[in-house]
A = this chain, B = another copy of it.
Amino acid sequence: MAVKIYDVAKAAGVTSSTVSRVFNGYPDISEHTRKKVYEVAAKLGYTPNIAARTLSSKSLKTVALILNDLVASRFDGVSMQTILGVYNYCETHAMQFVLYPTTTKLQHEKTFDQFCMERNVAGAVVQGLHIDDPYIQQISESQTPVVMIDLEIPGANTVSISVDNVAAEKEATQAILRHGKSHPVMMNGIPSAQVSNLREKGFREAIHDAGLSLSDDAIMYADFDIDKAEAAMRNALASGREIDAVICASDAMAMGVMTALKAAHRRVPEDCEVVGFDNIAITEYSQPTISTIDQHMEKIGGMAAQLVDKLLNGKVAPNMRHIFSPHKFIQRESTGVYPDK
């Protein structure tokens, strides 16, 4: 049924070796046969079989995108963006792409190296790992280069990429302080996500630099979940303590917080400002619109793929452990900024 390299070779009057060479862009091929081969291949509709190529070749690189359950939230399209970023880089750089949606549970059934072996994975980008996932250690010890999104781990073949979470959250906090708010709290994500810790650090730094102090209950944890965030915020408000700003480690949690504020008849931003993180679509359409930090996940995906490409070619300085991708603090109505539509 399918047309194979042999068919093309025969029709072009050459060997399969030659056809292979022109398809792999070898330089020493006569212009004449190159043209002929392409012509015949196009007419026959030939496409090289990928399984055969990966089996016989050392140079066909496949990069895997490993998405752990941490990112599979129903709430946003974030992980879809990562997929597109990585895919597009691979597509335009002659690398194979393979997606592996895993879970902490699945990680116990198959080690990272086993996964890489079975699929001939040359390098991987990994997103959504908790800091206590079994994969972490396996990745550090693995030979295969991996680029971690949002999580720094040790390992000679490992580089991580993320926005500067500390700086970003600090920037956001400073903004609300500048607006005259002096009793901010933070709604943080699950502690086993490294970004939670970094964002908390940025929050604390801004508070500290401003000469303010934080009560013990100023940091709440709501696992990046909208309902948990709402519940936590309701409790906080019910306790009667003074709160005039909430820095949230995700937009979903910011939504939950706003619901709780509304229920308590607190006006946003007049009585209490709110900032999220991620810049998911709804932040532009909620009422009020939500200030947040844009991460541009598709770009991060692309950069990550490029990094594994560089890692594969030894083009990453050995002391490079982490790359910061650009972020942007976007102010909207929830921090008192009303852009004219």
Residue numbers of A with Cβ under 8 A of B are 1-3, 45, 47-52, 54-55, 72-77, 79-81, 83-84, 87, 97-99, 101, 110-111, 113-115, 117-120, 143, 226, 255-256, 259, 262, 281-282, 285-287
A241, chain B: closest CB distance, angstroms: 24
A238, chain B: closest CB distance, angstroms: 16
A153, chain B: closest CB distance, angstroms: 21
Contact of A119 among B50, B84, B87, B119 (CB under 8 A): B50
Contact of A285 among B54, B143, B255 (CB under 8 A): B255
Q: Which of A73, A97, A101, A120 has the most CB of B within 10 A?
A: A101
Contact of A286 among B72, B97, B98, B286 (CB under 8 A): B286
A256 closest partner in B (C-beta): B285
Q: Can you identify 18 A-B contacts, CB atoms within 8 angstroms?
A: A1-B143, A45-B111, A45-B113, A47-B115, A48-B118, A49-B55, A49-B117, A49-B120, A51-B54, A75-B281, A75-B282, A77-B79, A79-B80, A83-B99, A83-B101, A97-B99, A98-B99, A255-B285
Q: B55 and A51: CB pair below 8 A?
A: yes
Q: B117 and A2: CB pair below 8 A?
A: yes
A234, chain B: closest CB distance, angstroms: 11
Q: A285 and B51: CB pair below 8 A?
A: no
A285 closest partner in B (C-beta): B255
Q: Which of A75, A79, A281 has the most CB of B within 10 A?
A: A281
Q: Known: A51-B54, A101-B84. Contact between A75 and B75, CB under 8 A?
A: no
A78 closest partner in B (C-beta): B77
Q: B98 and A98: CB pair below 8 A?
A: yes
CA A174 to CA B259, docked complex, whole Å: 31
CA A184 to CA B45, docked complex, whole Å: 51
A149, chain B: closest CB distance, angstroms: 16
A290, chain B: closest CB distance, angstroms: 12
**Chain B residue contacts of A79, Cβ below 8 A:** 77, 80
Q: B114 and A47: CB pair below 8 A?
A: yes
Q: A52 and B50: CB pair below 8 A?
A: no
Q: A47-B117, A50-B119 are in contact. List 9 more A-B contacts (CB 8 A).
A: A1-B143, A47-B114, A47-B118, A48-B118, A51-B51, A72-B84, A84-B101, A87-B101, A286-B286
A123, chain B: closest CB distance, angstroms: 15
List the 7 closest A-B pairs by CB distance, nearest first. Answer: A47-B118, A51-B54, A51-B55, A2-B117, A47-B114, A99-B99, A75-B281
**Chain B residue contacts of A255, Cβ below 8 A:** 285
CA A205 to CA B234, docked complex, whole Å: 45
Q: B285 and A226: CB pair below 8 A?
A: yes
**Chain B residue contacts of A119, Cβ below 8 A:** 50-51
**Chain B residue contacts of A99, Cβ below 8 A:** 83, 97-99
CA A85 to CA B87, docked complex, whole Å: 20
